[in-house]
A and B are shown apart, each in its own frame.
Chain A
Amino acid sequence: MSSQTATLGTNRTGIATSKDAAQRMVEGTAEFPPDATGDERAISDIRELFAKDAGPVGSVPPPTNVKGVVKTAVQAVKGARPTQFIDKLGERLGFERTGVRLYEALISKFNTHGTFSGGPSLAQLEENMLEEHSHFSLLTDVITRLGADPTVMTPSADIHATMSKGILEVMVEPRTTFVQCLEALLLAELADNDCWESLIALARQTGEEEVVDAFEAALAEEADHLEDVRAWLAAAQHREVDGEL
């Protein structure tokens, strides 16, 4: 079984491994100066130039049924932003669905490495995984009821998938430890909590009062997940939970 924490080894990435060679590299920069003056702002200039020409990553498709069309039109007249709401619903749906797969990967890691004193039990991980799935199902129902298509990858779903790619990679990489994966999970749960809060506010603003209660229940479960992960990590690192003594 692998250790849950980093061990001493042959890490060669720092200059202390080869001080003389590193010193020679520094000397080289004095003998061979940059061929052009300036600094990293040249990169910003290009970024801004390209951003002016760039279109959006994508759009939200029109509602799939008459009810959805009418609802969208009514809300738009009221000043709400129904397209934004659908975009963010799609984002959470994608995140929760991938969240199920994240927990599956974490459970594989648990099976390989085992847990630690103060760490999660298998039952806790399974419960969280099933809650992620129920949130995904809830979002599917809400999107469908609003007359939209839950299989769409909305722009926000795409952006969040791009952002969280690294979290998944840490989870499924065979060399990472269970605790390293919990750190990846912390990132996911932090984002998830904040995004659920925003989604509830948008639901209120869009006049979707009937879904607010269900979303608040989902947020409460996500808040528990976050609290769990923080506590597990604190235990793994033999420290108190942040903010508590």
Chain B
Amino acid sequence: MAIDLLNDRGTPLEQQKFTWKELTQPPYSKLDDDAFTRVRVILLNGIESEAIRFSHACSRMNRELQLDLAKIRRVEQHQQTLVNWLNPADQSVLETTIGFEQVAIEVTAALAQAEPDAYLAQVYRFGLLEDFDHMYRYSALMDRVEGKDANNLLQSYTDILPGRPTMLEHRAPEDDLRTPYDRRATALITKLHALTLVGAEYQTHDYYMTVGPTYADPLGRQLYAEIASIEEQHVTQYESIVDPDETWLEKLLLHEANEVYNYYSCVEYETNQRIKQVWERFLDYELGHLQHVAALFERFERRDAEEILNTKLPPPIVYESHREFVREVLRSEVQLTAVGPTFVPFNEGDAQGPSARQRAQLNADGSPSDSVARGYIWTPGTELSRRGPKPVKSVEPNVSV
């Protein structure tokens, strides 16, 4: 299916309508649907969430755009609802978390391989190994607290192995900012990749901040707190690669184009026919939004949307296991850290610098991500399939009333 960003009209904004019943459709099956269906649902919720977040910021700064933005945003709100409500109620908070990290690993790996800008591809590989480690830590939590196997969710597409240790990922803000792309000399695909990852990481951050305190186990609560902090770093990182000199309307146009691109990618790969219809419908809705925003862009900026958008969409995001690529990155780049916008081996980093001090401070009372996974080796059916529970090392306490 070929999409023409500049000429496909999609569904006109005024014809985009919902009822409460269709907003809350039957969910996918946690057990029977392909793991990548869950990955797409989670990612597209993040893409819609980013669209709404950006639209609000834009609205605060642009009086003349407020009504148009409010109209589009109302539809995006309902699109996000429909997409997010495809998650089933039998999927626990931690199971959904495993889904979030699978998004972060497989989507980031797909974008890193498709990214034409060598520096940004490096940025993505850097972030990838951190989310890869989060998967390992959360899987250990699921196994050791709940007695459940994270691979029931992952369906063997994604490895459960240590990456860059989470306790080493904590950095000072000055080491989380990257060099942005140049809006005038950058391919559209690069801009779409950046926005996709901003959306994915932002919703992950927000999700962990919302659900973290609902987890009953104290180490689990700590782990959510720790990883949420890294997700904030990741939002900072990915946000910083977007050229801050893009105009508000340019950014708005790119957001809409990115929504088109993401729904198009979902349509190309979806295996659940009912959910594929959702992606097709929303692809048409987003084309409608894009045309609406392109008209605003041309009216207010007095230049063609074609200056920003290509006629042809780039190839879709590849929704498949990127195991070999990830392992290769793991072998060759796990030892990296960031100093300012550049990446260097840990042993060449500043041992007394702001990031080292930040880590020492945060980990001073212990590291949750370290505690949860001591000696953890993922085993099919949980580590209890390989060995019995560990004997208790304590002494008999006194008898109380």
Contacts and interface: CB of A to CB of B under 8 A. Distances in A.
Interface residues of A, number: 54
Contact of B26 (A4, A53, A97, A113): A53
Interface in B147-178: 147-149, 151-152
A158 B401 contact: no
B392 A140 contact: no
B29 A116 contact: no
B394 A122 contact: yes
A17 B385 CA distance: 52
B389 A117 contact: no
B146 to A, nearest CB: 6
B375 interface: no
Given A151-B151, A169-B216, A1 B382 contact: no
Interface in A46-80: 50, 53-59
A204 to B, nearest CB: 26
A174 B218 contact: yes
Interface in A82-128: 94, 97-105, 107, 110-111, 113-117, 119, 121-122, 126
Interface string A1-40: 1001000000000000000000000000000000000000
Interface string B196-222: 000000000000000000001110100
Contacts of B29: 55-58
A22 B388 CA distance: 54
Interface in B89-115: 90, 92
Interface in B378-401: 380-382, 384-385, 388-389, 391-392, 394, 396-401
Interface string A129-160: 11001001000100000000011111100110
Contacts of A165: 92
B30 interface: yes
B400 to A, nearest CB: 5
A1 B145 CA distance: 24
Contacts of B144: 101
A59 B394 contact: no
A168 interface: yes
A100 B145 CA distance: 10
Nearest to B390: A104
A110 B384 contact: no
Contacts, number: 118
Contacts of B366: none
B26 A153 contact: no
B400 A115 contact: yes
Contacts of A203: none
A117 B399 contact: yes
A115 B397 contact: yes
A165 to B, nearest CB: 7
A172 interface: yes
Instruction: Count chain A CB atoms within 10 A of each CB in B145, B146, B148, B391 and give the residue with the most.
Output: B146
A117 B399 CA distance: 7
Interface string B338-359: 0000000000000000000000
A159 B30 CA distance: 12
B88 interface: yes
B365 interface: no
Dominant secondary structure at the B interface? loop
A162 interface: yes
Nearest to A152: B152
Dominant secondary structure at the A interface? helix
Contact of B388 (A101, A115, A130, A158): A130
Contact of B381 (A54, A110, A151): A151
A114 B399 contact: yes
A168 B216 contact: yes
Contact of A172 (B216, B391, B398): B216
Interface string A158-176: 1101100100111011100
A54 B25 CA distance: 9
B388 A59 contact: no
B400 A122 contact: no
A38 B388 CA distance: 56
A169 B216 CA distance: 5
Interface in B44-97: 88, 90, 92
Contact of A57 (B31, B389, B400): B31
B396 to A, nearest CB: 5
B400 A116 contact: yes
Nearest to A161: B148
A153 B88 CA distance: 15
A97 B388 contact: no
A136 B220 CA distance: 24
B32 interface: yes
B384 A107 contact: no
Interface in B23-50: 24, 26, 29-32
B147 A101 contact: yes
Contacts of B399: 114-117, 119
A122 B146 contact: no
A111 B391 CA distance: 13
A80 B31 CA distance: 24
B90 A57 contact: yes
Nearest to A238: B401
Contacts of A115: 397, 399-400
A214 B31 CA distance: 29
Given A57-B30, A98-B148, A165-B92, A4 B389 contact: no
9 contacts: A55-B26, A57-B31, A57-B88, A58-B32, A100-B389, A102-B147, A117-B401, A119-B399, A121-B396
Given A115-B397, A133-B388, 5 more contacts: A53-B26, A59-B31, A115-B399, A119-B399, A126-B392
